[in-house]
Structure 1
């Protein structure tokens, strides 16, 4: 994660790094893998993968410590992530949400979330007793806030415009015309393709 900007430091299949800011904690979970073509990005199949994501996410305050993570915890995180992907895609394309995805989201949100406390030094810190269930509740409640928020955010959930990119984000740009997950990734690829297409057309002319 960049120290100067909010977002996740992701890598292309070729190994090139780029900064991706989806605009919400719940959407930050989606690049960790998923169903279908997203399976090749899976990192939540090991405890280390989950802990690395927690450390890189926008969870505040940072430094969340979880108890030993088991396979059942990882399965629950993956289940919520896949439900969030389904709900995000449905919202991006104006489709009704799937009942199964809603059930997973609401079940996670029904549990107690992570809590913070004020330290002797006057700083925010995570209260003792953090758990994976509390983490999932915090993520699920963030998603509910996003999906039920003002149109300026809830109505601007987008999927990257590249044909082979499935990243979802909140378009927080003032004109509301963000098309790409990141300019340094899919935006630049589109520019290169457009330049090559123009050059080929000019050559044929």
Structure 2
């Protein structure tokens, strides 16, 4: 089974170039983050135009309070995201990793992340509001898990003919083929149905 030590729900609603709104379960927090930029032609939309966009995206995913983002945080976030994107695409297509991208992920993963905590205590431990930098570290640590040996055969490109979306197959059988059954899976079913109904030409 795929390995991840970051326990944050993943998946998000996306709107593709054809205007279809659909739920994309990437299988990984780091891949969700990669989808805030042009990871592929099918999801080619920049979502992080400002520090407020970054803070808003993080607050939607992390259950704890995240502080305001600064311009420097946005610069760091896009640098980390773009490194994750290039490494993920290399893994999906069997390409070479760029060492500077590995260095970027490792650098952010080595900084303090958002620590886990148990609910129900009577005292506040640590910060009540987490820094954006801590959230980026948590994302980088998920990227380390995502790109580790345990997931080597599970980072895949959608099998749709005109789709280049990358996902982590977290299914028990390791048999996921589509970015989403709502999108490419359904299109493949429709095409297969039409092919079966098409009359066979007389020989």
The alignment's TM-score, normalised by the length of structure 2, stands at: 0.79
CA distance, structure 1, for counterparts of residue 94 and residue 164 of structure 2: 16
Contact 1:114 1:135 in 2 (8 A): yes
Contact 1:116 1:124 in 2 (8 A): no
Structure 2: tracts of 5 or more residues without a match? 1-8
Q: Secondary structure of 1:19's match? A: strand
Residue 33 in 1 paired to residue 30 in 2? no
CA distance, structure 1, for counterparts of residue 125 and residue 15 of structure 2: 30
Contact 2:33 2:81 in 1 (8 A): yes
Superposed, 1:80-159 pairs within 5 Å as 80-118=80-118, 127-128=127-128, 130-148=130-148, 150=150, 153-159=151-157
Higher relative contact order by CA 8 Å / sep ≥ 6: 1 or 2? Answer: 2
RMSD over equivalenced CA pairs, Å: 3.0
Contact 1:33 1:40 in 2 (8 A): yes
String of CA shifts for 1:43-100, please: whole Å, max 9, x gaps.
Answer: 111233223322333x3xx143222x22322122111111111111222233331112
Contact 1:26 1:142 in 2 (8 A): yes
Q: CA deviation at 1:197?
A: 4.8
Residue 185 in 1 paired to residue 189 in 2? no
Residue 53 in 1 paired to residue 31 in 2? no
Q: Secondary structure of 1:41's match? A: coil
Comparing 189-198 with 179-188, which one deviates more in the overlay?
A: 189-198
The alignment's TM-score, normalised by the length of structure 1, stands at: 0.78
Structure 1: tracts of 5 or more residues without a match? none
Contact 1:43 1:49 in 2 (8 A): yes
String of CA shifts for 1:142-168, please: whole Å, max 9, x gaps.
Answer: 111232253xx3421112222443332
Q: Secondary structure of 1:169's match? A: strand
Q: CA deviation at 1:141?
A: 0.8
Query: How many residue pairs were aligned?
Result: 194
Superposed, 1:159-178 pairs within 5 Å as 159-178=157-176
CA distance, structure 1, for counterparts of residue 124 and residue 90 of structure 2: 35
Comparing 123-132 with 41-50, which one deviates more in the overlay?
A: 123-132
In structure 2, relative to structure 1, the CA distance for the partners of 1:159 and 1:121 (3 Å cut) is: same
Comparing 14-23 with 99-108, which one deviates more in the overlay?
A: 14-23
Comparing 153-162 with 188-197, which one deviates more in the overlay?
A: 188-197
Contact 2:58 2:135 in 1 (8 A): no
